[in-house]
Each structure stands twice: as structure tokens, then as C-alpha cells.
């Protein structure tokens, strides 16, 4: 909850001095003494992360007919990534579905 000055409507700042707490206006020098200030922070949301296994990702990736240089299998998954500057073409990475060999073009 925010407190505002009743005269100039400026946000009041909390000033702690010599064991006393007060709200002070920096524009018109209004001051209001305050008792104890309690602050309570409640975290309601529980953050849950989904763990994605590599096999799940591999099943959903796009597949193409590309011959593996290592085992000769003819099906691979692929994805594109910008590895150089924006005016350069994207790099295509392939991974063989049989031996998991990865190469790029």
C-alpha cells in the first residue's frame, strides 16, 4: 500500500531516524509519524519445470532423407540455428536417427 501527501499528492517516503518511523514528503516537507510498519510477503505460486527428455524432442523434430556420413543410414532429423551474423544464412544441423551422429551444412 502506498501513502501519498495530502497536500501535493507526492508519494511519501519512509524515514527511519532515531528509532522513530515517519512518512515524509520530499516536495512540501509534510511529515506524518507512524507506529510500527510490518511487511509481509507471501509466495503463493509453486514453480514447476517440465523436464524434456532428448528422446521426446527427437521424436517431434522434422525428419528428412539425408545419408549419414558415418553409418550410411538415410534418415536424419534437422534444425536450423543462426550461428553467424544476421546477413549470413542459417546453419542446418543434422542428426542421424540410427547412430546419433551430428553434422552441419
Q: What is the CATH number of the domain that holds 99?
A: 2.20.25.10
Whether residue 46 is contained in a domain is answered as no
28 annotated among ligand-binding-site residues? yes
pLDDT tens sequence for the chain (105 residues): 578 999 999 999 988 888 788 899 999 989 988 877 666 777 767 766 665 656 666 667 788 889 898 999 998 888 888 888 888 888 988 888 889 888 888
Rounded CA-CA distance 33/22 in Å is 4
Q: Note whether 65 and 32 are same-domain residues.
A: no
99 annotated among ligand-binding-site residues? yes
96 annotated among ligand-binding-site residues? yes
pLDDT for 85 equals 86
**Domain ranges, residue 30:** 1-40
Predicted model pTM: 0.44
Q: Among positive and negative, which fits the CA dihedral 82, 84, 86, 88?
A: negative
24 annotated among ligand-binding-site residues? no
pLDDT for 51 equals 59
All three cell numbers of 3, joined, read 501513502
CB within 8 A of 22, min separation 6: which ones? 14, 15, 31, 32, 33, 34
pLDDT for 7 equals 93
Q: Residue 10 CB: number of other CB atoms within 10 A?
A: 13
pLDDT for 12 equals 92
Rounded CA-CA distance 90/27 in Å is 56
Q: Note whether 34 and 61 are same-domain residues.
A: no
64 annotated among ligand-binding-site residues? no
Amino acid at each position: 500500500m502506498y501513502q501519498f501527501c495530502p497536500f501535493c499528492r507526492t508519494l511519501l517516503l519512509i524515514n527511519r531516524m532515531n528509532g522513530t518511523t515517519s512518512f515524509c514528503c520530499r516536495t512540501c516537507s509534510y511529515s506524518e509519524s507512524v507506529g510500527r510498519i510490518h511487511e509481509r510477503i507471501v509466495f503463493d505460486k509453486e514453480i514447476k519445470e517440465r523436464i524434456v527428455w532428448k528422446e521426446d524432442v527427437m521424436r517431434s523434430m522434422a525428419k528428412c532423407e539425408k545419408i549419414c556420413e558415418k553409418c550410411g543410414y538415410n534418415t536424419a532429423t534437422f534444425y536450423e540455428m543462426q550461428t553467424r551474423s544476421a546477413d549470413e544464412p542459417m546453419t542446418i544441423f543434422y542428426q542421424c536417427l540410427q547412430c546419433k551422429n551430428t553434422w552441419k551444412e
